Amino acid sequence: MPAVQMTRLKAQIGELAWQFTRPDEFQQALTDLFNYYAERTYRPGQAAQPVSLTPMYHLPPLIMRQLALDLSPYCVENPTAALALADQLWQDSYLEPRLVAITLLGHLPLQPVEPLLERLNSWCQPAENKELLDAIFRQATRQLRRKMPDLWLALIKGWLDDPRFPFQAMGLNALLPLIQDRDYENLPPVFSSISPLLQSAPPAIQVELIAVISALARRTPKETVYYLRQVLTVAQGAGAERLIRKALPAFNPEDQASLRSAL
């Protein structure tokens, strides 16, 4: 892998951008760029996390950041071409081109919003690569979360209401960036959306439920304590109690004491 020289990289991305309206040519040029900077000596054992089954170029993070920065104006100027290009790159077998597709979605204008919602609905599948899903939830929905959060929450609620546990787990994971986004202040619908799952507390989605409770505890502790005390009054079985006990470390000592008294 050659050292990344910013002047050269920006020139390479500039050449790449000439193919923005020609998806096939853009994809080939992007492949050439990624092959140029790919880490050929990468060893899976060096990774701190489980190895992804999706092939990767193992690029320096600077490459992806600069691509996102330099391509964003093109998405605003020509959203139709950006959508076509995103669809093309999403079909790539490698992780990084698909991350570029997600980046393009995140920079699209929200008028009209339907093309974005259609792709969020079709691209988000429980069996999808977790890194890609997390990128969709955090990057592709950034504008949607801040300008049209009700539409994004409605899509998430569809997954939460699905009787299949993998879709419920995906919906819970999609809630995390929304909860963590300080620009999003309307948290009551988030509490309402998870209530049925929290009351029944299926073991299959226990990890995801605890993650959501913990995120809410860090974002708005007092409201979360009040909410959980209410849940305990209507919970079905002991599942909710077990979940709340496991989530206690996310709360400060005073709030832990309050929850313990309710438990």
Looking at residue 48, its pLDDT comes to 46
Share of the chain above pLDDT 90, in %: 85
Given pLDDT bands bounded at 50, 70 and 90, which one contains residue 2? low
| Fold of the domain built from segment(s) 149-263 | 1.25.40
79 and 119 Cβ atoms separated by less than 8 Å:
no
Distance (Å, rounded) from C-alpha 132 to C-alpha 46?
Answer: 21
Distance (Å, rounded) from C-alpha 84 to C-alpha 20?
Answer: 9
Token couple for 142: 């950034």
Looking at residue 52, its pLDDT comes to 60
Q: In Å, how far are 25, 232, 247 from 238, measured between CA atoms? A: 57, 9, 15
Give per-residue pLDDT as tens, 161-200: 999 999 999 999 999 999 999 889 999 999 999 999 999 9
CA atoms within 13 A on the CB side of 157: 13
pTM: 0.91
**Which position has the higher pLDDT, 73 or 4?**
73
Give per-residue pLDDT as tens, 195-217: 999 999 999 999 999 999 999 99
**All structural domains of the chain with their residue ranges:** 1-140, 149-263
Looking at residue 43, its pLDDT comes to 56
Looking at residue 172, its pLDDT comes to 98
